[in-house]
A and B are shown apart, each in its own frame.
Chain A
């Protein structure tokens, strides 16, 4: 069935390095792709979204890349900090007559080493 998934369950990076978290999706009908961050004991927190007709979007220290040819989404975090340690989820949003509902992938844990 249609799904959103991640390549790596755990990513360990040195503080100050750049991080790249990857996600594969299968539903070509998705209108938006979104990245969420979830810290331990907290709810997911919106990071950034990208519309399906774009291939790159930048935020503060984060960049999302969308490659529709290979159905691949990535989140790049520049100068990774200890506060970036969390689980990161990609999600897809399909708009329909009833509105929208997000479909989340399984998550990648980012561990930042001091």
Chain B
């Protein structure tokens, strides 16, 4: 499968714990995005990378959230001191630079976080 891969698919954690999600984009895609989606809502933009550079962060991305893409390939999203309000589906997407402007993103199947 050469699509966007996310791991883990499901994570249940207790409030206050740290969690980390990993995203492996489509190999030739230089743009990588993180979105968050709650039930019944559309995805909300969190941050995106072009190669290893983090170019934009949403105000939704509090200080407890950090994302990295150290070698311009896979990315991690870490949430520290999780809160119940962090429970959501975390979606990763990637795109080719030349197609990104049209809004054509390739999404993974997401990592569902449940904070107890």
Contact = CB atoms under 8 A, between A and B. Distances in A.
Nearest to B100: A100
B56 A99 contact: yes
Contact of A46 (B41, B56, B104): B104
A49 B107 contact: no
A33 B104 CA distance: 10
Interface core residue of A43, A51, A89, A106 (most chain B CB under 10 Å)? A43
Contact of A43 (B40, B41, B56, B93): B93
Contacts of B91: 43-44
Interface stretch (A13-21, A68-76, A78-86, A90-98): A90-98
A99 B50 contact: yes
Interface string B64-95: 00000000000000000000000000010100
B50 to A, nearest CB: 7
B109 A101 contact: no
A42 interface: yes
A34 B42 contact: no
Interface in A3-60: 4, 31-34, 41-46, 49, 51
Nearest to A49: B102
24 contacts: A32-B101, A32-B102, A34-B104, A41-B109, A42-B109, A43-B4, A43-B93, A43-B107, A44-B107, A46-B103, A49-B102, A89-B43, A92-B103, A99-B100, A100-B100, A100-B103, A101-B45, A101-B48, A101-B56, A101-B58, A102-B45, A106-B40, A106-B42, A107-B42
